Chains A and B, each alone.
Chain A
Amino acid sequence: MTASGNIAERAAALVEEFSMFEDWMDRYQYLIDLGKELPEIDDEFRTDDYRIRGCQSQVWLQPIPERDVIHFKADSDAQITKGLIAVLLRVVNGQSAKDVASANLSFLDELELKEHLSPTRKNGLDSMLKQIRMYAAAITAKSIPTS
């Protein structure tokens, strides 16, 4: 699924989708289903070099080089984590590096999934978010012309 809109618009769309579910189990089911729709990462990226070090579930992050634009594929061995990855990537993929580096991702609060982003959850997701922001910041820095 290719999303349109800027970060805020896509986040709002997700919040609306999740608000349809009153029951947490239905919300989780939807999250898991979103994870299942993620495109597979390429095998050569399923290595320790691209693994985000979380304590319990593993996350692999494959950057796809595109000038000034953020694009990742990612995977996890845990289904909830994979669903959260899908949510994050739907918001950031295709956005400008500059926007992602400074993005407000507080919409995760409204999905009632924010608990999973705590570093103490040890699911690797918090580290993934940091990695995405660092990557975005690095691209942004490179694209600023130096005198």
Chain B
Amino acid sequence: MKGAELTISNEMLERIRSDFPILDKTINGHQLAYLDNAATAQKPRFVVDRIDKYYTEENANVHRGVHSLSQTATEAYEGARSRIASFLGASNPREIVFTRGTTEAINLVASSMGVSGIEKGDEIVVSEMEHHSNIVPWQLLCERTGATLRVVPVSDSGELEYDEYQARLNERTKLVALVHVSNSLGTINPVRHIISDAHSMGIPVLLDGAQAAPHMKVDVSNLDVDYYCVSSHKMFGPTGFGVLYGKEAILEALPPYQGGGDMIEEVDFAGTTFNELPHKFEAGTPHIEGAVGFAAAIDYLEGIGFDWISEQESDLLTYATGRLRDIEGLRIVGEARQKASVISFLLGNSHPYDVGTVLDKLGIAVRTGHHCTQPLMKRYDIPGTVRASLAFYNTRDEIDRLVDGLKKAAVLFS
């Protein structure tokens, strides 16, 4: 029975891999083993075709035209918003603000909060495992307003020091801004507890969901999170597009972000009034193709189903972790109890750059460096790591190739 299940699973995997044309590419004489999915995920033909169809059949500017094509484009664009809203579990599409990605979503909140609502002495809570994009916007906000950034430390195994998190919440805390899944460590943070502890003190919570949403079903209403940020390109959709989810009442109260066309109701030199949600945060002609492509990526993901995705990724993570641990001198950085399929490691004393270079020669794509989490690297006193980040289309065979490649690298750099 077990054998039969495995066969079905392998057939499914083969079929899924054939949806991603780039996976057949040859790199340095080897078939590509793409293990850099946390940086960006590959795109299925379904998404590429949808974008192609948009430009060949539907392209016009949205929201403005009376002509039919503009109506078609607007329906595609706003239809994508509804699709994304229901996927994320938002109460309605007005809670879905389109951005360039997670980075801009966070910057939007930080920038608009800086206009009103933050003053000297206020505090914002982040953690040591944040991506720079969930640190620097808050540092800039603190510089502008005199507020203070409070940082939750991370344990040796790569988990949030939860007592320290609770200890940083107080009456001056204006926002908790934390990563849902760490891009460097793979740690899945206990977001339900994080949110309920913050809410018990009336503090709103923003989650950076860039690395969570590709791996698990996120339901913002169920989480009761106040802001949730995702990037399309990490979820098998186009680059340059992402979403800020915000509770409607909170977004209503938040001042606009950038000024320009589409975000206004009426412009007069005596004063301008702003468009309703979500358009007041979306100045200028938007990334229409991005919205349409992202909605297609969501259709694709839901077609596969998150049950299968998490089963497959969990199998790969367990297999890869076991095989990597068997390599002499290899040290995994980040061994939280709850992890997504991201494995950071160091091979003996070898520099990650050297290791990554050798793997590239073998057609294996990994990320090396600090992964835009320099404070975290300082915490562990390392220059960076080699990171293998797995998606549902990866295979055990690719992990075997990674292990063989690392053994070659170990010989070279001994």
A residues at B contact (CB < 8 Å): 24-25, 28-29, 32, 55-58, 77-81, 116, 122-123
Contacts and interface: CB of A to CB of B under 8 A. Distances in A.
A123 B353 contact: yes
Contacts of B383: 58, 77
Nearest to B368: A56
Interface string B328-360: 000000000000000000000011111001100
Contacts, number: 38
A83 to B, nearest CB: 10
Contact of B384 (A28, A56, A123): A56
Contacts of A79: 350-351, 354, 413
Interface of B: 350-354, 357-358, 361, 368-369, 383-384, 408, 412-413
A57 B412 contact: no
Contact of A28 (B350, B351, B368, B412): B412
Given A77-B351, A78-B353, A80-B357, A56 B369 contact: yes
A79 B357 CA distance: 11
A57 B351 contact: yes
B413 A57 contact: no
Given A32-B413, A56-B352, 15 more contacts: A28-B358, A55-B369, A56-B351, A56-B368, A56-B384, A57-B354, A77-B351, A78-B353, A78-B354, A79-B350, A79-B413, A80-B353, A80-B354, A81-B353, A122-B369
Contact of B412 (A29, A55, A122): A29
A62 to B, nearest CB: 20
Nearest to A58: B383
Contacts of B357: 80, 116
A57 B352 CA distance: 8
Nearest to A116: B357
Nearest to B350: A79
Given A28-B412, A29-B412, A79-B413, A57 B361 contact: no
Nearest to B360: A115
Contacts of A29: 412
A24 B361 contact: yes
9 contacts: A28-B358, A28-B412, A32-B412, A32-B413, A56-B369, A77-B383, A79-B354, A80-B354, A81-B354
Contact of A25 (B352, B369, B408): B408
B412 A78 contact: no
B368 to A, nearest CB: 6
Contacts of B361: 24, 28
A116 B354 CA distance: 11
A123 B357 CA distance: 11
A55 B377 CA distance: 14
A109 to B, nearest CB: 16
Contacts of A81: 351, 353-354
Contacts of A122: 369
Contacts of A25: 408, 412
A139 to B, nearest CB: 31
A16 B138 CA distance: 55
